[in-house]
Structure 1
Amino acid sequence: MARNKYLVIHGSASSDQEAISLCGNALMEAGLVGKSFIEKCLERETEYPTGLPTDIPTAIPHCKDDSITENSICFLKLEQPVTFRRMDDDEESVETDMIFNMAIKDPNEHLEALQNLMEFLGDSEALEQCRALSDAEVVDYLQTHIG
């Protein structure tokens, strides 16, 4: 699999939709996705929520979209947590201040990338590193640990 491009952004959002839009806009400004990516992520989140109830809860919004130009992940560090409905039980939710918005160009790589990311997010130590490191260090860390 080709190396991913990672973006690290900071912001504040009042909802999961707003958090997804922040990520999507950053990916769009970087030329990695088109406008349809944001809409498709928002639609998908409604039907298939992506909150992960790991020791340190996270969310991994994503979608399949033809406007993705390069494999990339936007990591958003929020000032205050927002609520995402859980992937494993959409009646339940998690509060998270860490969102990993994944944009994978090749549908065949999509599942593998998702599994790699979920494995990474199950590691509390890795998430503490993401929280503690500078943005540039987080990019290097993700590149090393996710690929």
Structure 2
Amino acid sequence: MKFDLIKENCIRVNVSAEGWEDAVTKAGNLLVEADIVVERYIKKMISNIKEMGPYLVIAPGIAMPHARPEDGVNESGVSLMTLEKPVRFGHEINDPVSLIVTLAAKDTTSHIEALAELMDLLGDQNKVEKMLNSKSEAEIIEIIRN
């Protein structure tokens, strides 16, 4: 898998979060620090969840917060963050969440391509388990590349 959308500086393991909003903020900040999105992108992701509910909890233990390209995306990118303790988003089936994969797409085309790549990765339960048990960012990079 090529997976060039996840840069090593956009990965964190065992992050402490005080709930879903804090988790989304911390995952979004990885994209802000990498200049992939601007600060308002995080606010929009949070307001989307408040308005539409926990639709972003896409599989057991996995959330994929995102907003629209016009909400502050500079370039396409993804952050990946595992949580020290799972948080609840309010999803009936897929809570609690331990893996936050934040998606930022510059346009609709790259959005579809990024989702396809992410679904390949996140659809592999073995890789997801390994990522959740990773002790370092380097371990996650290794899992993604293999």
Q: Per the shorter chain, which TM-score range?
A: 0.7 to 0.9
Whether contact under 8 Å (1:40, 1:65) holds in the other structure is no
Which one is further off, 59-68 or 128-137?
128-137
Instruction: State the match for 1:51 in structure 2.
Output: 57
Identity %: 28
Question: Hey, what's the Cα distance between the residues in 2 that align with 1:83 and 1:2?
Answer: 28
**Cα displacement string for residues 62-85 of structure 1 (whole angstroms, at most 9, x for unaligned residues):** 111332222211111111000124
Normalised to the residue count of structure 2, the TM-score between the two structures is 0.80
Instruction: State the match for 1:37 in structure 2.
Output: 41
Question: CA distance change for structure 1 residues 27 and 15 in 2, over 3 Å: closer, same or farther?
Answer: same
1:75 maps onto 2:76 in alignment: no
Structure 2 letter corresponding to 1:45: I
Question: Hey, what's the Cα distance between the residues in 2 that align with 1:121 and 1:129?
Answer: 11
Instruction: State the match for 1:141 in structure 2.
Output: 143
State how many pairs are aligned. Answer: 138
Let me know the Cα RMSD of the aligned residues: 2.3
Flag structure 1 segments of 5+ consecutive residues without an equivalent.
none
Whether contact under 8 Å (1:36, 1:65) holds in the other structure is no
Structure 2 letter corresponding to 1:101: T
1:9 to 4, 8, 12: 12
Flag structure 2 segments of 5+ consecutive residues without an equivalent.
none
Q: Following superposition, which runs of at least 4 residues in structure 1 exceed 4 angstroms of deviation?
A: none
